[in-house]
Amino acid sequence: MAIAVRHKEAQREAVVEFPPGPQPRYGAPQLKPSQIAPELVAKAITSAIAAGWEPLSRGKTVAIVVDATGA
């Protein structure tokens, strides 16, 4: 699973990639945004900034790989 994040006043995005989770059974739908914990997203964004993503700078999209906890 991956999510794209961007500061509301900037243009540079980060794609935060999580490890693959268990496969859905029998055609079950994928996760919806409302099913992702806001705390997990906040921790992943903090990890992306710690890894060098500068949301207010200009440049290409940055891909950041995090673990299942967002660290």
The answer to whether 15 touches 53, Cβ cutoff 8 Å, is: no
Q: Is residue 28's pLDDT more than 80?
A: no
3-state secondary structure of 34: helix
Per DSSP, 46 falls in state H
Rounded to whole angstroms, the Cα distance separating 71 from 41 reads 10
Taking the mean position of all CA atoms in its chain, how far away is CA 31?
Answer: 13
Q: 1-25: per-residue pLDDT in tens?
A: 788 888 888 888 999 888 877 777 7
Q: What is the pLDDT of residue 8?
A: 87
What is the Cα gyration radius of the chain?
A: 13
